[in-house]
Amino acid sequence: MPAGMAAFSQGEYDRRIAKTRRAMEAAGLDAIFVTDPSNMAWLTGYDGWSFYVHQGVILTGEGAPHWWGRGMDSNGARRTVWMEDENIHAYADHYVQSTTDHPMEDLCALMARLGLAGARIGVEMENYYYSAKAHAVIVAGMGNARIEDATALVNWQRTVKSDEELDFMRRAARIAEKVMQVAIERAAPGVRKNDLVADILHAGITGVGEDWGDYTAIVPMTPSGLDATAAHLTWDGREMRAGEATFFELAGCYWRYHTPICRTVHLGKTPQKMRDASEALNEGLAAGIEAARAGNRACDVANALGAALEKAGIKRGARCGYPIGLSYPPDWGERTISFRDTDETVLEPGMTFHFMPGIWMDDWGLETTEPMLITPDGPAEPFCSIPRQIFEK
Protein backbone atom coordinates (compact mmCIF):
# COMPACT_ATOMS: atom_id res chain seq x y z
CA MET A 1 0.00 0.00 0.00
CA PRO A 2 1.43 3.40 -0.88
CA ALA A 3 1.96 6.25 1.56
CA GLY A 4 -0.80 8.04 -0.37
CA MET A 5 -3.53 10.36 0.72
CA ALA A 6 -6.49 8.09 -0.02
CA ALA A 7 -9.17 9.81 1.98
CA PHE A 8 -11.39 6.88 2.83
CA SER A 9 -11.11 3.50 4.52
CA GLN A 10 -10.27 0.44 2.43
CA GLY A 11 -13.69 -0.94 3.38
CA GLU A 12 -15.29 2.07 1.74
CA TYR A 13 -13.33 1.55 -1.48
CA ASP A 14 -14.15 -2.17 -1.43
CA ARG A 15 -17.85 -1.31 -1.10
CA ARG A 16 -17.64 1.01 -4.09
CA ILE A 17 -15.82 -1.52 -6.26
CA ALA A 18 -18.27 -4.30 -5.38
CA LYS A 19 -21.27 -2.09 -6.07
CA THR A 20 -19.84 -0.99 -9.41
CA ARG A 21 -19.08 -4.57 -10.40
CA ARG A 22 -22.71 -5.53 -9.77
CA ALA A 23 -23.78 -2.74 -12.13
CA MET A 24 -21.23 -3.87 -14.73
CA GLU A 25 -22.55 -7.41 -14.50
CA ALA A 26 -26.12 -6.22 -14.91
CA ALA A 27 -25.03 -4.32 -18.02
CA GLY A 28 -23.14 -7.34 -19.36
CA LEU A 29 -19.79 -5.55 -19.32
CA ASP A 30 -16.42 -7.25 -18.80
CA ALA A 31 -14.71 -3.98 -18.01
CA ILE A 32 -15.27 -0.24 -17.83
CA PHE A 33 -12.94 2.60 -18.72
CA VAL A 34 -13.94 5.70 -16.76
CA THR A 35 -12.59 9.17 -17.49
CA ASP A 36 -14.90 11.24 -15.30
CA PRO A 37 -12.43 12.53 -12.66
CA SER A 38 -15.13 12.14 -9.99
CA ASN A 39 -15.60 8.49 -10.90
CA MET A 40 -11.83 7.97 -11.01
CA ALA A 41 -11.48 9.50 -7.53
CA TRP A 42 -14.47 7.62 -6.13
CA LEU A 43 -13.05 4.26 -7.24
CA THR A 44 -9.34 4.81 -6.56
CA GLY A 45 -8.77 7.96 -4.47
CA TYR A 46 -6.92 9.63 -7.35
CA ASP A 47 -6.86 13.38 -6.88
CA GLY A 48 -5.03 15.88 -9.09
CA TRP A 49 -5.67 18.65 -11.60
CA SER A 50 -4.52 16.46 -14.47
CA PHE A 51 -7.86 15.91 -16.19
CA TYR A 52 -6.88 18.40 -18.90
CA VAL A 53 -4.90 15.54 -20.47
CA HIS A 54 -6.30 12.10 -21.22
CA GLN A 55 -6.41 9.70 -18.28
CA GLY A 56 -8.75 7.14 -16.83
CA VAL A 57 -9.38 4.13 -14.64
CA ILE A 58 -9.96 0.61 -15.92
CA LEU A 59 -12.05 -1.71 -13.76
CA THR A 60 -12.34 -5.33 -14.82
CA GLY A 61 -14.24 -8.16 -13.17
CA GLU A 62 -11.50 -8.89 -10.68
CA GLY A 63 -8.56 -7.36 -8.86
CA ALA A 64 -7.90 -3.74 -8.08
CA PRO A 65 -8.65 -0.98 -10.60
CA HIS A 66 -5.92 0.27 -12.95
CA TRP A 67 -4.97 3.94 -13.06
CA TRP A 68 -3.76 5.09 -16.49
CA GLY A 69 -2.44 8.55 -17.32
CA ARG A 70 0.38 10.82 -18.35
CA GLY A 71 3.84 9.89 -17.11
CA MET A 72 4.30 13.08 -15.09
CA ASP A 73 1.00 12.42 -13.32
CA SER A 74 1.82 8.83 -12.35
CA ASN A 75 3.77 10.25 -9.40
CA GLY A 76 0.54 11.94 -8.33
CA ALA A 77 -1.26 8.63 -8.66
CA ARG A 78 1.36 6.99 -6.44
CA ARG A 79 0.68 9.69 -3.84
CA THR A 80 -3.10 9.45 -3.88
CA VAL A 81 -4.52 6.06 -4.93
CA TRP A 82 -4.94 2.98 -2.74
CA MET A 83 -3.68 0.49 -5.33
CA GLU A 84 -0.15 -0.92 -5.61
CA ASP A 85 2.36 0.49 -8.07
CA GLU A 86 1.81 -2.29 -10.59
CA ASN A 87 -1.71 -0.97 -11.12
CA ILE A 88 -0.42 2.47 -12.13
CA HIS A 89 0.25 2.79 -15.86
CA ALA A 90 1.88 5.80 -17.50
CA TYR A 91 1.97 6.91 -21.11
CA ALA A 92 4.84 8.81 -22.73
CA ASP A 93 4.82 12.59 -23.02
CA HIS A 94 4.96 12.71 -26.83
CA TYR A 95 1.27 11.73 -26.81
CA VAL A 96 0.25 14.91 -24.93
CA GLN A 97 -1.75 17.35 -27.05
CA SER A 98 0.03 16.01 -30.10
CA THR A 99 -1.41 16.39 -33.57
CA THR A 100 0.04 13.05 -34.72
CA ASP A 101 -0.10 10.67 -31.73
CA HIS A 102 -3.10 10.02 -29.51
CA PRO A 103 -2.84 8.77 -25.90
CA MET A 104 -5.67 6.32 -26.55
CA GLU A 105 -3.27 4.33 -28.74
CA ASP A 106 -1.31 3.61 -25.57
CA LEU A 107 -4.54 2.79 -23.70
CA CYS A 108 -5.52 0.23 -26.34
CA ALA A 109 -2.17 -1.51 -25.92
CA LEU A 110 -2.68 -1.57 -22.14
CA MET A 111 -6.19 -2.97 -22.45
CA ALA A 112 -4.86 -5.71 -24.69
CA ARG A 113 -2.18 -6.52 -22.09
CA LEU A 114 -4.95 -6.73 -19.49
CA GLY A 115 -6.69 -9.37 -21.61
CA LEU A 116 -9.45 -7.09 -22.86
CA ALA A 117 -8.76 -7.37 -26.59
CA GLY A 118 -12.03 -9.21 -27.17
CA ALA A 119 -14.00 -7.90 -24.20
CA ARG A 120 -17.18 -5.90 -23.80
CA ILE A 121 -15.92 -2.58 -22.51
CA GLY A 122 -18.06 0.27 -21.25
CA VAL A 123 -16.94 3.86 -21.87
CA GLU A 124 -18.42 7.18 -20.75
CA MET A 125 -19.57 8.59 -24.07
CA GLU A 126 -21.23 11.62 -22.47
CA ASN A 127 -18.43 13.11 -20.46
CA TYR A 128 -16.24 16.22 -20.58
CA TYR A 129 -13.15 14.06 -20.40
CA TYR A 130 -13.98 11.59 -23.13
CA SER A 131 -13.68 13.39 -26.44
CA ALA A 132 -15.19 12.31 -29.75
CA LYS A 133 -11.64 11.80 -30.99
CA ALA A 134 -10.67 9.62 -28.02
CA HIS A 135 -13.64 7.39 -28.73
CA ALA A 136 -12.78 7.13 -32.42
CA VAL A 137 -9.20 6.08 -31.60
CA ILE A 138 -10.38 3.46 -29.09
CA VAL A 139 -12.96 2.00 -31.45
CA ALA A 140 -10.36 1.79 -34.22
CA GLY A 141 -7.72 0.36 -31.89
CA MET A 142 -9.88 -2.28 -30.23
CA GLY A 143 -11.26 -3.91 -33.35
CA ASN A 144 -12.17 -7.19 -31.65
CA ALA A 145 -13.68 -5.65 -28.54
CA ARG A 146 -17.21 -4.34 -28.14
CA ILE A 147 -17.09 -0.74 -26.99
CA GLU A 148 -20.41 0.21 -25.40
CA ASP A 149 -21.86 3.33 -23.86
CA ALA A 150 -21.67 3.12 -20.06
CA THR A 151 -22.24 6.81 -19.42
CA ALA A 152 -23.10 7.47 -15.76
CA LEU A 153 -22.84 3.79 -14.78
CA VAL A 154 -20.45 4.73 -11.97
CA ASN A 155 -22.25 8.02 -11.27
CA TRP A 156 -25.40 6.07 -10.44
CA GLN A 157 -23.50 4.01 -7.85
CA ARG A 158 -22.53 7.28 -6.17
CA THR A 159 -26.07 8.55 -5.55
CA VAL A 160 -26.47 6.96 -2.08
CA LYS A 161 -23.72 8.25 0.20
CA SER A 162 -21.96 6.23 2.87
CA ASP A 163 -21.55 7.56 6.38
CA GLU A 164 -17.92 8.39 5.54
CA GLU A 165 -19.08 10.48 2.62
CA LEU A 166 -21.83 12.19 4.61
CA ASP A 167 -19.24 13.15 7.20
CA PHE A 168 -17.29 14.91 4.42
CA MET A 169 -20.43 16.65 3.17
CA ARG A 170 -21.32 17.90 6.65
CA ARG A 171 -17.87 19.40 6.95
CA ALA A 172 -18.40 21.01 3.54
CA ALA A 173 -21.76 22.33 4.80
CA ARG A 174 -20.09 24.22 7.68
CA ILE A 175 -17.75 25.79 5.10
CA ALA A 176 -20.74 26.64 2.88
CA GLU A 177 -22.46 28.42 5.77
CA LYS A 178 -19.28 30.37 6.43
CA VAL A 179 -18.83 31.54 2.83
CA MET A 180 -22.48 32.56 2.54
CA GLN A 181 -22.24 34.54 5.78
CA VAL A 182 -19.19 36.34 4.40
CA ALA A 183 -21.01 37.13 1.15
CA ILE A 184 -24.07 38.50 2.97
CA GLU A 185 -22.01 40.48 5.48
CA ARG A 186 -19.64 42.09 2.99
CA ALA A 187 -22.13 42.92 0.21
CA ALA A 188 -22.67 46.69 0.15
CA PRO A 189 -22.99 49.54 -2.32
CA GLY A 190 -19.58 50.55 -3.66
CA VAL A 191 -17.92 47.19 -3.03
CA ARG A 192 -16.24 45.88 -6.18
CA LYS A 193 -17.60 42.46 -7.05
CA ASN A 194 -14.14 40.95 -7.46
CA ASP A 195 -13.16 42.14 -3.98
CA LEU A 196 -16.24 40.44 -2.57
CA VAL A 197 -15.44 37.24 -4.46
CA ALA A 198 -11.85 37.39 -3.14
CA ASP A 199 -13.25 37.41 0.40
CA ILE A 200 -15.64 34.55 -0.42
CA LEU A 201 -12.84 32.40 -1.84
CA HIS A 202 -10.56 33.22 1.06
CA ALA A 203 -13.24 32.15 3.55
CA GLY A 204 -13.95 28.95 1.65
CA ILE A 205 -10.35 27.79 1.26
CA THR A 206 -9.44 28.72 4.83
CA GLY A 207 -12.27 26.44 5.85
CA VAL A 208 -13.65 25.89 9.34
CA GLY A 209 -11.29 24.83 12.11
CA GLU A 210 -9.32 21.78 10.98
CA ASP A 211 -11.57 21.27 7.98
CA TRP A 212 -9.54 22.85 5.18
CA GLY A 213 -11.36 24.15 2.15
CA ASP A 214 -10.83 22.52 -1.23
CA TYR A 215 -11.48 24.18 -4.60
CA THR A 216 -15.11 24.08 -5.69
CA ALA A 217 -16.04 22.52 -9.04
CA ILE A 218 -17.78 25.77 -10.04
CA VAL A 219 -16.49 29.24 -9.15
CA PRO A 220 -18.72 31.63 -7.16
CA MET A 221 -21.64 32.99 -9.17
CA THR A 222 -22.46 36.46 -7.92
CA PRO A 223 -24.39 38.41 -10.57
CA SER A 224 -26.21 41.65 -9.74
CA GLY A 225 -29.14 43.51 -11.25
CA LEU A 226 -29.67 42.73 -14.92
CA ASP A 227 -26.77 40.26 -14.86
CA ALA A 228 -28.78 38.24 -12.33
CA THR A 229 -31.33 37.51 -15.08
CA ALA A 230 -28.66 35.14 -16.42
CA ALA A 231 -27.89 31.92 -14.62
CA HIS A 232 -24.13 31.56 -15.02
CA LEU A 233 -22.31 34.86 -15.32
CA THR A 234 -19.18 35.23 -13.22
CA TRP A 235 -17.78 38.42 -11.69
CA ASP A 236 -15.96 41.49 -12.91
CA GLY A 237 -14.62 44.68 -11.33
CA ARG A 238 -17.80 46.74 -11.23
CA GLU A 239 -19.10 48.09 -7.92
CA MET A 240 -22.29 46.83 -6.30
CA ARG A 241 -25.09 49.39 -6.42
CA ALA A 242 -28.05 50.34 -4.24
CA GLY A 243 -31.36 49.14 -5.63
CA GLU A 244 -29.90 45.94 -7.09
CA ALA A 245 -30.34 42.33 -6.11
CA THR A 246 -27.37 39.95 -6.22
CA PHE A 247 -27.64 36.22 -5.97
CA PHE A 248 -24.82 34.17 -4.51
CA GLU A 249 -24.45 30.64 -5.81
CA LEU A 250 -21.67 29.25 -3.63
CA ALA A 251 -20.47 26.01 -2.14
CA GLY A 252 -18.33 24.67 0.62
CA CYS A 253 -15.92 21.96 -0.45
CA TYR A 254 -14.05 19.55 1.81
CA TRP A 255 -11.67 17.13 0.10
CA ARG A 256 -13.63 17.27 -3.19
CA TYR A 257 -17.05 16.84 -1.51
CA HIS A 258 -19.43 19.74 -2.12
CA THR A 259 -22.36 21.33 -0.39
CA PRO A 260 -23.69 24.13 -2.62
CA ILE A 261 -26.18 26.73 -1.46
CA CYS A 262 -27.67 29.98 -2.83
CA ARG A 263 -29.06 33.08 -1.21
CA THR A 264 -30.00 36.53 -2.53
CA VAL A 265 -29.04 39.94 -1.16
CA HIS A 266 -30.92 43.14 -2.01
CA LEU A 267 -29.15 46.45 -1.45
CA GLY A 268 -31.90 48.84 -0.40
CA LYS A 269 -35.62 48.22 -0.12
CA THR A 270 -36.71 45.05 -1.90
CA PRO A 271 -39.40 45.59 -4.55
CA GLN A 272 -42.77 44.05 -3.72
CA LYS A 273 -42.65 41.66 -6.70
CA MET A 274 -39.41 40.14 -5.42
CA ARG A 275 -40.80 39.87 -1.88
CA ASP A 276 -43.86 38.09 -3.27
CA ALA A 277 -41.70 35.76 -5.34
CA SER A 278 -39.49 35.01 -2.36
CA GLU A 279 -42.53 34.10 -0.26
CA ALA A 280 -43.83 31.77 -2.98
CA LEU A 281 -40.38 30.28 -3.39
CA ASN A 282 -40.14 29.58 0.34
CA GLU A 283 -43.50 27.83 0.24
CA GLY A 284 -42.25 25.79 -2.70
CA LEU A 285 -39.01 24.92 -0.93
CA ALA A 286 -40.89 23.80 2.18
CA ALA A 287 -43.29 21.73 0.09
CA GLY A 288 -40.43 20.20 -1.89
CA ILE A 289 -38.44 19.30 1.22
CA GLU A 290 -41.59 17.75 2.65
CA ALA A 291 -42.01 15.69 -0.54
CA ALA A 292 -38.34 14.66 -0.66
CA ARG A 293 -38.87 11.44 1.26
CA ALA A 294 -37.53 7.97 0.74
CA GLY A 295 -40.00 6.15 -1.49
CA ASN A 296 -41.22 9.30 -3.24
CA ARG A 297 -39.93 10.15 -6.70
CA ALA A 298 -37.72 12.95 -7.99
CA CYS A 299 -40.70 14.38 -9.89
CA ASP A 300 -42.69 14.62 -6.64
CA VAL A 301 -40.22 17.23 -5.40
CA ALA A 302 -40.41 19.18 -8.66
CA ASN A 303 -44.20 19.06 -8.67
CA ALA A 304 -44.49 20.20 -5.05
CA LEU A 305 -42.31 23.20 -5.84
CA GLY A 306 -44.12 23.88 -9.09
CA ALA A 307 -47.55 23.94 -7.44
CA ALA A 308 -46.47 26.56 -4.92
CA LEU A 309 -44.83 28.74 -7.55
CA GLU A 310 -47.74 28.42 -9.93
CA LYS A 311 -50.12 29.77 -7.29
CA ALA A 312 -47.95 32.91 -7.33
CA GLY A 313 -47.95 33.03 -11.14
CA ILE A 314 -44.30 31.98 -11.55
CA LYS A 315 -43.45 29.51 -14.30
CA ARG A 316 -39.88 28.17 -14.15
CA GLY A 317 -39.57 25.56 -16.86
CA ALA A 318 -36.12 24.38 -15.74
CA ARG A 319 -35.19 21.43 -13.53
CA CYS A 320 -34.96 22.36 -9.86
CA GLY A 321 -32.34 20.07 -8.41
CA TYR A 322 -29.59 17.52 -8.91
CA PRO A 323 -27.48 15.11 -6.85
CA ILE A 324 -24.32 16.42 -5.18
CA GLY A 325 -21.19 15.01 -3.56
CA LEU A 326 -17.74 14.31 -4.96
CA SER A 327 -17.01 16.54 -7.94
CA TYR A 328 -14.41 18.09 -10.19
CA PRO A 329 -14.83 21.03 -12.57
CA PRO A 330 -16.79 22.00 -14.53
CA ASP A 331 -19.88 20.79 -12.61
CA TRP A 332 -20.69 20.02 -9.00
CA GLY A 333 -23.78 18.01 -9.95
CA GLU A 334 -23.53 14.25 -10.38
CA ARG A 335 -25.45 14.13 -13.70
CA THR A 336 -27.87 11.33 -12.88
CA ILE A 337 -31.19 12.27 -11.26
CA SER A 338 -32.90 15.59 -12.06
CA PHE A 339 -35.74 17.14 -10.05
CA ARG A 340 -38.07 17.58 -13.02
CA ASP A 341 -41.62 16.44 -13.75
CA THR A 342 -40.47 13.61 -16.01
CA ASP A 343 -37.93 12.01 -13.65
CA GLU A 344 -39.50 9.11 -11.77
CA THR A 345 -36.37 7.95 -9.93
CA VAL A 346 -37.37 6.71 -6.47
CA LEU A 347 -35.58 8.53 -3.67
CA GLU A 348 -33.51 6.47 -1.25
CA PRO A 349 -32.09 7.24 2.20
CA GLY A 350 -28.56 8.60 1.85
CA MET A 351 -29.16 10.37 -1.44
CA THR A 352 -27.99 13.99 -1.40
CA PHE A 353 -29.32 16.81 -3.56
CA HIS A 354 -29.01 20.47 -4.24
CA PHE A 355 -32.67 21.54 -4.32
CA MET A 356 -32.07 24.48 -6.62
CA PRO A 357 -35.10 26.42 -7.83
CA GLY A 358 -33.41 29.55 -9.16
CA ILE A 359 -35.76 32.14 -10.61
CA TRP A 360 -34.48 34.26 -13.50
CA MET A 361 -36.98 36.90 -14.66
CA ASP A 362 -36.69 39.59 -17.32
CA ASP A 363 -35.10 42.19 -15.09
CA TRP A 364 -34.14 40.41 -11.85
CA GLY A 365 -33.08 37.06 -10.47
CA LEU A 366 -33.66 35.30 -7.15
CA GLU A 367 -32.03 32.18 -5.73
CA THR A 368 -32.85 30.55 -2.42
CA THR A 369 -31.80 26.90 -2.40
CA GLU A 370 -31.06 24.02 -0.03
CA PRO A 371 -28.56 21.18 -0.11
CA MET A 372 -30.25 18.24 1.57
CA LEU A 373 -30.12 14.58 2.55
CA ILE A 374 -32.87 12.01 2.01
CA THR A 375 -33.49 10.37 5.39
CA PRO A 376 -34.85 6.89 6.26
CA ASP A 377 -38.16 8.45 7.29
CA GLY A 378 -39.53 11.95 7.29
CA PRO A 379 -38.73 14.89 5.03
CA ALA A 380 -35.27 15.66 3.67
CA GLU A 381 -32.73 17.07 6.09
CA PRO A 382 -31.09 20.33 4.94
CA PHE A 383 -27.31 20.32 5.38
CA CYS A 384 -27.13 24.05 6.14
CA SER A 385 -29.07 26.37 8.35
CA ILE A 386 -29.24 29.79 6.80
CA PRO A 387 -32.59 31.63 6.96
CA ARG A 388 -34.57 31.37 3.72
CA GLN A 389 -35.12 35.00 2.84
CA ILE A 390 -33.89 37.89 0.73
CA PHE A 391 -31.21 39.58 2.83
CA GLU A 392 -31.97 43.29 2.67
CA LYS A 393 -29.12 45.66 3.39
Site for a second copy in 299-328 (CB under 8 A): 317-319, 322
| Of residues 77-96, those binding a second copy (CB under 8 A) | 78-80, 92-94, 96
Among 19, 160, 186, 234, binds a second copy (CB under 8 A): 234
The answer to the question of residue 134 lying near a second copy (CB under 8 A) is yes
Site for a second copy in 266-305 (CB under 8 A): none
Three-state DSSP at 130 gives coil
Q: Binding a second copy by CB under 8 A: which of 143, 232, 313, 315?
A: 232
Interface residue with a second copy among 87, 222, 338, 369 (CB under 8 A) is: 338
Stretch that binds a second copy, among 9-17, 20-28, 229-237, 385-393 (CB under 8 A): 229-237
Select from 17-25, 157-165, 195-203, 301-309 the region that touches a second copy (CB under 8 A): 195-203
Segment contacting a second copy by CB under 8 A, of 57-65, 120-128, 162-170, 385-393: 120-128
**Phi, psi dihedrals of residue 94, rounded to the nearest 5°:** -65, -15
Q: Which of 14, 25, 126, 310 binds a second copy (CB under 8 A)?
A: 126
Closest CB 378 distance from a second copy, rounded Å: 28
Per DSSP, the three-state class of 382 is strand
What is the CB-side half-sphere exposure of residue 144 using CA atoms within 13 A? 8
Q: Which one of 10-18, 21-29, 81-89, 133-141 is the stretch in contact with a second copy (CB under 8 A)?
A: 133-141
* Strand pairing category for 257-266 and 245-254: antiparallel
Nearest partner of 346 among 356, 355, 336, judged by Cα: 336
Nearer to a second copy, 129 or 248 (CB): 129
Task: Strand 321-323: give its sheet, edge to edge.
Answer: 321-323, 352-355, 370-373, 381-382
Query: In this structure, what DSSP letter does residue 225 have?
Result: G
Number of CB atoms found within 10 A of residue 142's CB: 21
**What crossing angle do the helices spanning 10-26 and 37-44 adopt, rounded to 10°?**
120
If DSSP codes are grouped into helix, strand and coil, which group holds residue 23?
A: helix
- Scan residues 135-154 and list those touching a second copy (CB under 8 A): 135-136, 149, 151-152
Smallest separation (angstroms) from a second copy to the CB of 302 = 11
Q: Name the one range near a second copy by CB under 8 A: 13-21, 124-132, 270-278, 299-307.
A: 124-132
Of 279, 275, 193, which is closest to residue 234 (Cα–Cα)? 193
Kindly tell me which of 266 and 319 has the beta carbon lying closer to a second copy. Answer: 319
**Dist. CA 180–CA 264, nearest whole Å:** 10
What is the C-alpha separation between 350 and 167, in angstroms, rounded?
12
Distance of CA 311 to the CA centre of its chain: 32
- If the CB atoms of residues 22 and 202 are measured against a second copy, the closer one turns out to be 202
